[in-house]
Amino acid sequence: MIDKTELKKAASLIEETGTVFVALPEEAPVDAVAAAALIAGRLTGLGKTVMVSRTNPLPPKWEFLSVKPLTSHAQIPQDVVITIDTKSSPVGELRYEKGDEALTIILSPKDKPIRVSDIKIGGEPAKADCVIVVGAETLETLGALYDKNPRLFFETPVINIDISPANNNFGEVNLVNPKARALTEISSALAKAFLPQPLSADEATLALAGILANTKNFLDGKVLPETLSLAAEAIASGAKRDLILRAVEERRPLPILQLWGRAAVRSRYDEDRGILISIITADDFIKTGTTPDAIGEVARLFETHLAPPKIFLILQHDPVSQRISAILQSRDFELAKELSHTMFGNFERGLLRLRETFPSFREAESGILATLDSLKTRTGRSNKENVPPF
């Protein structure tokens, strides 16, 4: 959970500033770039002057992301200072001529020639009203940007956005949440705090890209309900989910693909309920050399390569316990939560794993479908209703 007090402080700070500098590490991952682009776009919409640091371009597979808010803004400005050693090269007169494409500065000597070696050109420290640092554990992580502009970060209020537990809270405002799975979770919350409006399709794509890239499409580690809720919101807002999935998709080991193939041919679609039911037998696990731990990856393969149904139900025969267990994914997240309470399930990596087991596939299917029907009747849900895709 993001600290609401810090979030309010950040929004107030942004509201009071005119020029905002968004800083990223040079080797920023897609999550950090997406988070920064989301914030920069909202700041522009708020009428702020936005500047951004240089980062290496993302791989071509991410070219569909709308990172124009980062590439279209100027780099951090610095005043250019011309210094002349007037003791060695006295100046009698200074004038300039300004044309359409050039500015010429003319120095006339006083009593002896002006030596070029006595003229130095340098820069004043960079300036901004506020700095937003995205995805850096320390200021030193920013590399040359920090080394060349230390005064900018010490003399300017800094909003620190990060999800690393190693972050040293270097900001005046620290939006640091190690429990969040993506920087875009924090950037979305901040963007809504200083400019409250729904996510646009481009913003939704940025938010979802950060989540799916960091979680490897929910396969890597525990995912909290807040993350799932933002993912559902992003998809409902028009995020380019298919393109994101292609970008994050990794080659699966052959046994996983074989297990998926067996599950695919043993699947059926219940059109009335909008449920795709897939069955995996104990023999499937044995012949492919896999275990029930692979079910999550099988579910992701279905999700990547098939149009997602309203509800996806996988029934598996555990070769050890000889019982039938179930994993479910629903585009109606509230329905999935109600089912988890009714059948004592828990969410793992974006999937609902039911604790209740059954002696046969027939009893598992009939029992779960009956419970779903009962929940829909009790809550007034219709099988035909439109719910956010998930």
Question: From CA 39, how far away is CA 266, in angstroms rounded?
Answer: 45
d(CA 293, CA 353): 12
Query: Is residue 150 situated within a structural domain?
Result: yes
The pLDDT value given to residue 176: 96
Domain end (from 67, 97, 123): 123
Q: Label residue 3 left, alpha or beta by phi (over 0 means left) and psi (-120 to 50 means alpha).
A: beta
**Average pLDDT value over all residues in the chain:** 87
Position 209 scores a pLDDT of: 96
218: CATH: 3.90.1640.10
- CB contact at 8 A, 234 and 213: no
Q: What does the pLDDT look like over 272-330, one tens digit per residue?
A: 888 999 999 999 999 999 999 898 888 888 877 776 688 899 999 999 999 999 998 88
CA distance 349 to 219: 6
Phi/psi of residue 84, nearest 5 degrees: -120, 130
The answer on 33 and 134 residing in a single domain is yes
Q: Which of 162-166, 186-190, 310-314, 316-320 has the lowest mean pLDDT?
A: 310-314
Neighbours of 74 (CB within 10 A): 9
- Report DSSP state, residue 23: E
The total of structural domains in the chain comes to 3
Token reading at 125: 């420290």
Residue 384: pLDDT above 50? no
* Residue 314 sits in the same domain as residue 175: no
pTM of the predicted structure, to 2 decimals: 0.65
What's 357's domain CATH number?
3.10.310.30
Indicate the pLDDT class of residue 370, thresholds 50, 70 and 90.
very high
pLDDT for position 77: 55
| 237 and 364 together in one domain | no
> 116 and 44, same structural domain?
no
